[in-house]
Amino acid sequence: MRDTRFDTIRVQSPEGGYDIVLGHGTLDSLGRLVGELGLGRKVVVASDTNVAPLYAERVLAVLTRGGFEAALAVMPAGEGHKSWDSVEMFVEAFLDAGLDRGGWVAALGGGVVGDTAGFAASVYMRGVDFVQIPTTLLAMADSSIGGKVGVDHMRGKNLLGAFKQPRLVVADLDVLASLPAEQVACGMAEVIKAGVIGDEVLFGGIDDGRVSYVMRHTSYVMRDDPSRMTYDLRSTIYDSLRRAIEVKRGIVERDPYEAGERALLNLGHTFGHAFEKCTGYNRLHGYAVAQGMVVVCRLAGALGICDDGLAERVERVLGAWGLPVRWGAPDLEYKGAVERVWEAMMLDKKRANGRLRLVLPEAIGRVRLVDDAPEGTIKSVLMETK
């Protein structure tokens, strides 16, 4: 039975479809939502050291009321812990909880927890059921959907991973109230990305200022009255988040295993990953993606793939959300940084057959893959956008 207070978006996948349930207060319905799926009785809720103190007790209680036997496992927060060590720690917790093949794992957290716990669920006893409870805007808009899970390796991001489709995604917008403003902005980087890739109306809604207005006041609002921020976020982010989810849903349904079209979701990410790598992963992912998007929009303009106004428009929208649109500061300002970034890109795993494959915008809402853009043009755009 569907709850009319919530939006439900169905995603088709090779391993069977799943629902994304989106709304305010969805967490309180978690017991019922998973109950309808007929999942096993034992569950481990995987979370991190920031999210667990805020929401784990509530999630454990709602699951217990729903008749589940729920245990908690907590990893240290942060991208630096999206690692093999954390996978092992989760596996230990699954064993301690007596999780068998009929048990399941719930990831309660941002993309780091979702990717890490999802990977642990995909290898534990050759795979147990997995439910995503994303708590960041980025995880709601992007990482909880489509079944990519994995961890980083010292030599590169996301080098160890698998496809593991969730059985359910439950996104409760109320939890965004505790998310730091810069993390909200990072999530918006992926929402804006979705607009550039595939939804002009989504991008337009953000561009006309309706949404950015709220952000300019966010730090003030949060400091003075956290509940007001929740209220403002309610009326503004909701629509763009729903549309961003639809963009991702369409792409992962058509290309679940990244054989082609799914690569379009990497808009801004080839450069973004290079910035992250060159800063020892000290840069927020959303910041790096925003900076990477500026580079590819400028590059598309320089190559005559889109008109010149596009880059300006994208920069304006990113800037309105407090996202950085130049990639140098704070720690890549030195001479030679362009070369360093270029070298990191050459090592990027997304090189196809030794070629550098980039996603470039043709217009807002339409992108294409371009192989082997000229090195000289790339480097001069990098120089310009530093």
Ligand X SMILES: NC(=O)c1ccc[n+]([C@@H]2O[C@H](COP(=O)([O-])OP(=O)(O)OC[C@H]3O[C@@H](n4cnc5c(N)ncnc54)[C@H](O)[C@@H]3O)[C@@H](O)[C@H]2O)c1
65 is catalytic: no
- Give the interface size with ligand X as a residue count (CB under 6 A): 29
Give the residue among 209, 217, 298, 206 at the shortest CA–CA distance from 244.
206
Residue in 135, 165, 230, 236 binding ligand X, rule: CB under 6 A: 135
**Residue carrying structure tokens 């849903």:** 249
Q: 84 or 210, CB closer to ligand X?
A: 84
Select from 11-19, 121-129, 173-181, 361-369 the region that touches ligand X (CB under 6 A): 173-181
Active-site entry in 42, 167, 193, 269: 269
Question: CA-to-CA distance for 181 and 197, rounded, in angstroms?
Answer: 24
Give the residue among 71, 156, 150 at the shortest CA–CA distance from 116.
150
266 is catalytic: yes
Q: What angle do CA 140, 142, 143 make, to 5 degrees?
A: 90
Reported for 326-330, long-range contacts at CB under 8 A and 24+ positions apart, including other chains, are: 326/291, 326/294, 326/385, 326/386, 327/271, 327/275, 327/288, 327/291, 327/292, 327/294, 327/295, 327/382, 327/385, 327/386, 328/386
Q: 145 or 305, CB closer to ligand X?
A: 145
Active-site entry in 81, 164, 273, 283: 273
Site mask, ligand X, residues 138-167, x = CB under 6 A?
A: xx--xx--x-x---------x---------
246 is catalytic: no
Amino acid of residue 334? Y
357 is catalytic: no
Q: 290 or 310, CB closer to ligand X?
A: 290
Site mask, ligand X, residues 35-64, x = CB under 6 A?
A: -------------x-xx--x----------
Residue in 7, 19, 79, 129 binding ligand X, rule: CB under 6 A: 79
349 is catalytic: no
Residue in 7, 22, 29, 82 binding ligand X, rule: CB under 6 A: 82
Question: CA-to-CA distance for 160 and 157, rounded, in angstroms?
Answer: 8
What is the DSSP-derived secondary structure letter of residue 100? Answer: -
Question: CA-to-CA distance for 127 and 112, rounded, in angstroms?
Answer: 19
Q: Please state at what angle helix 337-346 crosses helix 269-278, rounded to 10 degrees.
A: 120
Active-site entry in 248, 277, 283, 298: 248
Active-site entry in 79, 190, 276, 315: 190
Question: CA-to-CA distance for 111 and 146, rounded, in angstroms?
Answer: 12
CA distances in angstroms from 351 to 197, 208, 230, 348, 370, listed in the order given:
20, 36, 41, 6, 11
Instruction: Kindly state the smallest distance separating residue 195's Cβ from ligand X, in Å.
Output: 16
92 is catalytic: no
Instruction: Kindly state the smallest distance separating residue 355's Cβ from ligand X, in Å.
Output: 23
Residue 175 interacting with ligand X (CB under 6 A): yes
Select from 133-141, 235-243, 253-261, 364-372 the region that touches ligand X (CB under 6 A): 133-141
Instruction: Kindly state the smallest distance separating residue 179's Cβ from ligand X, in Å.
Output: 4
Residue in 74, 113, 297, 302 binding ligand X, rule: CB under 6 A: 113
The secondary structure of the chain in percent helix, strand, coil, rounded to multiples of 5, reads 50, 20, 30
101 is catalytic: no
258 is catalytic: yes
CA distances in angstroms from 183 to 188, 215, 286, 311, 356, listed in the order given:
9, 12, 8, 23, 30
343 is catalytic: no
Question: CA-to-CA distance for 243 and 321, rounded, in angstroms?
Answer: 18
Contact 141, 194 (CB under 8 A): yes
Residue 269 interacting with ligand X (CB under 6 A): no
Residue in 63, 106, 133, 179 binding ligand X, rule: CB under 6 A: 179
126 is catalytic: yes
Q: What is the CA radius of gyration of the chain?
A: 20
Q: 191 or 202, CB closer to ligand X?
A: 191
Site mask, ligand X, residues 91-110, x = CB under 6 A?
A: ------------------xx
The residue ranges that bind ligand X (CB under 6 A) are 48, 50-51, 54, 77-79, 82, 109-113, 115, 135-136, 138-139, 142-143, 146, 148, 158, 175, 178-179, 183, 186, 285
User: Which of the residues are catalytic?
Assistant: 126, 148, 190, 248, 258, 262, 266, 269, 273, 285
